[in-house]
């Protein structure tokens, strides 16, 4: 493992910053948390906008490195602190699938499911992220005969996808397909998941079994 520099996670309760928090917990690296309460608009403060001009959480700093967007944070952390374990090495065959699922989680699953929740189902042919039913079929297809996205191997891609999938199942946006439920059960049983959930999701909003 590379020598640790002091990591700071800019995080808000009950937000998608859960993903980055879970990633840090899986790696077991020391980190500080700065709370940016998005319900109070703190993500739009001038100081925070210097770090993340989009005014969103999470943002992560590691020494002089600044990273935002959950997949980018996960890729950065896994390569720096979990290379060869949570991140397949660059010359491993799994590296391609690993990167694909990292991107698919937030470029396809999250926006398609969010639109579906609002009763907006767009024809997949006309939109780059595809249709809701196609997205669900992709997920159930890849997870039907394996424990994790890369087979038996848990990786940072499972953190990024799993954080979104867990929320969408809880909110009943995704169908309660046994394949998805079994996968979610394996993820939510992890101690790192629980530590991140306890820090992110107030129990009255998102009780975790």
Q: What's the start-to-end Cα distance of the chain, in Å?
A: 32
Q: Which of 51, 85, 119 marks a domain boundary?
A: 85
Q: What is the pTM of this model?
A: 0.91
Q: Are residues 107 and 68 in the same domain?
A: no
Does the structure show a pLDDT above 90 at 130? no
Model confidence at 40, in pLDDT bands (50, 70, 90)? very high
Q: Do residues 144 and 64 share a domain?
A: no
Number of domains present in the structure of the chain: 2
Q: Assign 206 a pLDDT band (cuts: 50, 70, 90).
A: very low
What is the mean predicted confidence (pLDDT) over 75-102?
Answer: 97
**Would you state the pLDDT for residue 201?**
79
Residue 34 covered by a domain: yes
Question: Residue 21: which of 172, 206, 201 has the closest Cα?
Answer: 201
Q: Is residue 170 part of a domain?
A: yes
Of the candidates 85, 106, 135, which is a domain's last residue? 85
pLDDT computed for residue 124 by the predictor: 61
pLDDT tens track for 3-24: 446 899 999 998 999 999 999 9
168 and 116 within one domain: yes
Confirm whether 40 is domain-assigned: yes
CATH number for the domain harbouring residue 129: 1.20.1050.10
Question: Within a domain: residue 39?
Answer: yes
Domain that holds residue 189: 94-198
- Distances from the Cα of 165 to the Cαs of 95, 105, 129, 185, 200, in angstroms? 21, 9, 16, 11, 16
In a domain, 182, yes or no: yes
Joined together, the tokens standing for residue 52 give: 């993340």
Is residue 204 in a domain? Answer: no
The DSSP 8-state label assigned to residue 176 in this structure reads -
Task: Give the end of a domain, one of 54, 85, 116.
Answer: 85
Same domain, 31 and 73: yes
pLDDT at 209 over 50: no
Q: What is the pLDDT of residue 14?
A: 87
- Domain co-membership, 112 together with 185: yes
- Reported as type and span, the H/E element at residue 110 is helix 110-117
Give phi and psi for 177, each to the nearest 5. Answer: -65, 135
Q: Residue 205 above 80 pLDDT?
A: no
Averaged confidence pLDDT in the chain:
91
Residue closest to 59 by CA, chosen among 25, 18, 24, 8:
8
Confidence tier at 121 by pLDDT (50, 70, 90) = confident
**CATH code at position 37:** 3.40.30.10
Do 191 and 113 sit in the same domain of this protein?
yes
């Amino acid at each position: 493992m590379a020598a640790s520099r002091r990591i700071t996670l800019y995080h808000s309760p009950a937000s998608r910053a859960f993903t980055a928090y879970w990633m840090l917990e899986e790696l077991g690296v020391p980190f500080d948390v700065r709370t940016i309460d998005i319900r109070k608009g703190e993500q739009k403060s001038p100081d925070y906008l210097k770090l993340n001009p989009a005014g969103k959480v999470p943002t992560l700093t590691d020494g002089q490195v600044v990273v935002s967007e959950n997949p980018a944070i996960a890729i950065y952390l896994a390569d720096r602190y979990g290379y060869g374990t949570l991140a397949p090495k660059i010359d491993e065959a799994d590296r391609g699938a690993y990167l694909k699922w990292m991107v698919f989680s937030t470029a396809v699953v999250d926006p398609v499911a969010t639109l579906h929740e609002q009763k907006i189902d767009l024809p997949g042919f006309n939109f780059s992220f595809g249709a809701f039913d196609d997205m669900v079929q992709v997920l159930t297809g890849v997870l039907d005969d394996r424990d994790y996205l890369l087979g038996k191997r848990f990786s940072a891609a499972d953190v990024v996808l799993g954080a979104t999938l867990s929320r969408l199942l809880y909110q009943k946006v995704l169908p309660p397909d046994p394949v998805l439920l079994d996968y979610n059960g394996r993820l939510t049983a992890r101690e790192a998941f629980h530590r991140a959930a306890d820090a992110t999701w107030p129990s009255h909003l998102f009780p975790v079994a």
